[in-house]
Amino acid sequence: MVPSTLGRYASATVDVFGEGFSTLSVVVVARSVGSVGRTTFVDATHLRATVTVLGSAPLGAADVLVRKMDPRLLQDLASASCSGCLTIVPFELTS
């Protein structure tokens, strides 16, 4: 995942790399970490998504999950996780 480090309150476009992605793939983070906007399928090895980190997100390593969703049944067809692929750091004000 690039970038692999985000600060609290951040909103950033991230690139997730792997294999076997499809147009049904979505990127997910834990609710305690934040939320993920629309996932864009780039190719079978690359997804792009916007991640928004909560101000109260736990600092340190966070897991990233990719789910392949069936839009008709609203259930997982497959999923894969990347343990600790995202690191949450304190918010820093930059000028």
Cα–Cα distances (Å) from 84 to 4, 7, 23, 60, 70, in that order, read 9, 15, 25, 8, 26
DSSP state of 57: P
Q: How far apart are CA 13 and CA 86, in angstroms?
A: 13
pLDDT of 93 strictly over 90: no
Q: According to the model, what pLDDT value does residue 94 have?
A: 65
Q: How far apart are CA 65 and CA 47, in angstroms?
A: 12
Q: Is the dihedral of CA 48, 23, 28, 67 positive or negative?
A: negative
69-83, pLDDT tens digit by residue?
A: 777 776 777 788 899
Q: How far apart are CA 7 and CA 52, in angstroms?
A: 10
Q: According to the model, what pLDDT value does residue 63 have?
A: 96
pLDDT of 95 strictly over 70: no
What would the mean pLDDT of 88-93 be, rounded to a whole number? 87
Q: What is the pTM of this model?
A: 0.86
25-58, pLDDT tens digit by residue?
A: 999 999 999 999 999 999 999 999 999 999 999 9
